[in-house]
Structure 1
Amino acid sequence: MFDHTTLIIIITVIVSLLAWQNKTLFNRLIFYPPAVSKGQWDRFVTHGFIHADSMHLLFNMFTLYFFGRAIEGLYKPFLAGYGFVVFYVLAIIVAMIPSYIKHKNSASYLSLGASGGVSAVLFAFILIAPWDMIYLFAVIPIPAILFAVAYVAYSIYADRRGGSNINHMAHLWGGAFGVVATIALQPQILPYFINALLSPSF
């Protein structure tokens, strides 16, 4: 039996591969504000299961695999054991809401990728272990809290630069959702995080 993190990864990889082979399917799943405004609200979820290319998919699923498995147990007590799945899907939805509000009248705006959900998972992990090492590109060690700062800075820069359908601001909103939702479900995490942050250990 797969854990929920692995199950989400399998579904995301399959849907992304199918969408790359079928342009009609790809266009139906991607986040497109005019279609959403006409009632295709499912795009708030489906866009999180397709990706721009293999590197986009690999980066998101690599991150989700390591950090999702590390924190999945936090959400298991909720919603009959499906708390992590609901947390992940809600993060994808919530992370897209600001972009929808900003671009709902834009016929040229498109967005895709699991970044909102993955960022929520990553930032929830940082609450638990701010000084644990994250290996950038699977090689370069960097403390999780410093990675978070760099991640936010890069997301702001990439959003301003533009040039792709990857929604970099969804990284920030997803991360914010991950922090708020995790503290709301497990309030004791906040004092734990503050104490851990003030007591660096490498």
Structure 2
Amino acid sequence: MYNLDLVTGIIIAANVMASLRGFDNRIFFERYKFNVGQIRRGDQIRMFSSGFLHVDTTHLLFNMLTLYFFAHTVIAQLGTLSFVIIYIASLIFGNLLSLYFHKDEFWYSAVGASGAVTGVLYAAILLNPEMNLYMFFIPIPIPGYVFGIGYLLYSIYGMKNRIGNIGHDAHFGGAVGGYVVTLLLLPSLFKTDLSHVALLAVPIVILFVLYKTGKLH
């Protein structure tokens, strides 16, 4: 049984209200979406506001369900304030990485809470790496840390090959945000669970190596 904490409910409500407004009002949607050209011209609010807009109801529902399932794990272990810090930091980290990789593509645009939600997911996995996760078409449970590593490796693959209309870099950046901020908030994890901390860092190291060797693009 999952709990809907007050702060999670508020964040979900904010996403729903902003997204519904964006569905009905194209001017609102265009004004607050992530767009490289506008951000580089100084419209920095888009780095934050774009995280509350979504392309359609399916996109919105998927992100909010993921947030609902994993938010309580973070709140229960770190508290409400830390959860909010992780959510916002992951949103910004995701958009910063996306901006970095698309900095010369002035037309590039994106929306969605995926970076923030992925950060919460990765934080939850870091806090409870042995949690069992069930995936579509896979009848057996997957340990959280295995899923986390696999998800980020797929994100690297998606970034390298530009697979689908998906912001793989925002997902990856969000996960890094969740990982780093969680460790800053709870550094005791380095003593109590160093093996999982190290394993979950593997995709981050791989991305760095690929980038430094020029093999990412």
Which TM-score tier does this pair reach, normalised by the shorter chain? 0.7 to 0.9
Following TM superposition, by how much is the alpha carbon of 1:191 offset from its aligned partner in structure 2, in angstroms?
2.7
Determine the C-alpha separation between the residues in 1 that align with 2:19 and 2:124.
Answer: 26
2:75 counterpart residue number: 72
What is the one-letter code of the residue matched to 1:108?
Answer: W
Secondary structure, counterpart of 1:136 in structure 2: coil
1:37 counterpart residue number: 40
Given that 1:5 and 1:72 are in contact with CA atoms closer than 8 Å, whether structure 2 keeps it comes out as no
Following TM superposition, by how much is the alpha carbon of 1:124 offset from its aligned partner in structure 2, in angstroms?
0.9
Following TM superposition, by how much is the alpha carbon of 1:87 offset from its aligned partner in structure 2, in angstroms?
2.1
Given that 1:44 and 1:96 are in contact with CA atoms closer than 8 Å, whether structure 2 keeps it comes out as yes
Matched, 1:18 2:21: yes
Determine the C-alpha separation between the residues in 2 that align with 1:130 and 1:66.
Answer: 15
Following TM superposition, by how much is the alpha carbon of 1:42 offset from its aligned partner in structure 2, in angstroms?
0.7
1:58 counterpart residue number: 61
Counterpart of 2:10 (choices 7, 11, 27) is 7
Superposed CA offset, 1:68-120 (max 9, x none):
112113443xxxx5332232112111121122123233222111111111111
What is the one-letter code of the residue matched to 2:15?
Answer: T
Aligned residues with identical type, % of pairs: 36
Listed as ranges, the matches of 1:160-179 within 5 Å are 160-164=161-165, 166-179=166-179
Superposed CA offset, 1:165-191 (max 9, x none):
x31111112111211111111111233
Following TM superposition, by how much is the alpha carbon of 1:64 offset from its aligned partner in structure 2, in angstroms?
0.7
Following TM superposition, by how much is the alpha carbon of 1:122 offset from its aligned partner in structure 2, in angstroms?
0.8
Determine the C-alpha separation between the residues in 2 that align with 1:58 and 1:67.
Answer: 14
1:89 counterpart residue number: 88
2:201 counterpart residue number: none
Determine the C-alpha separation between the residues in 2 that align with 1:103 and 1:195.
Answer: 34
Given that 2:15 and 2:52 are in contact with CA atoms closer than 8 Å, whether structure 1 keeps it comes out as yes
What is the one-letter code of the residue matched to 1:172?
Answer: F
Determine the C-alpha separation between the residues in 1 that align with 2:85 and 2:130.
Answer: 27
Matched, 1:100 2:103: no
Listed as ranges, the matches of 1:75-154 within 5 Å are 75-76=78-79, 82-137=81-136, 140=139, 141-154=141-154
Following TM superposition, by how much is the alpha carbon of 1:195 offset from its aligned partner in structure 2, in angstroms?
6.2
Report runs of 4+ in structure 1 exceeding 4 Å deviation.
Answer: 137-140
What is the one-letter code of the residue matched to 2:185?
Answer: L
Following TM superposition, by how much is the alpha carbon of 1:61 offset from its aligned partner in structure 2, in angstroms?
1.0
Given that 2:98 and 2:173 are in contact with CA atoms closer than 8 Å, whether structure 1 keeps it comes out as no
What is the one-letter code of the residue matched to 1:158?
Answer: G
Determine the C-alpha separation between the residues in 2 that align with 1:29 and 1:137.
Answer: 33
| Distance change (3 Å), C-alpha of 1:139 and 1:67 | farther
Determine the C-alpha separation between the residues in 1 that align with 2:128 and 2:98.
Answer: 30
Determine the C-alpha separation between the residues in 2 that align with 1:163 and 1:108.
Answer: 17
Structure 2, unaligned stretches of length 5 or more? 198-217
Given that 1:129 and 1:193 are in contact with CA atoms closer than 8 Å, whether structure 2 keeps it comes out as no
Given that 1:30 and 1:43 are in contact with CA atoms closer than 8 Å, whether structure 2 keeps it comes out as yes
TM-score by length of 2: 0.79
Following TM superposition, by how much is the alpha carbon of 1:23 offset from its aligned partner in structure 2, in angstroms?
0.9
Structure 1, unaligned stretches of length 5 or more? 198-202
Determine the C-alpha separation between the residues in 2 that align with 1:184 and 1:115.
Answer: 22
Superposed CA offset, 1:131-151 (max 9, x none):
111122498532111211221
| Distance change (3 Å), C-alpha of 1:157 and 1:196 | closer
Following TM superposition, by how much is the alpha carbon of 1:2 offset from its aligned partner in structure 2, in angstroms?
5.4
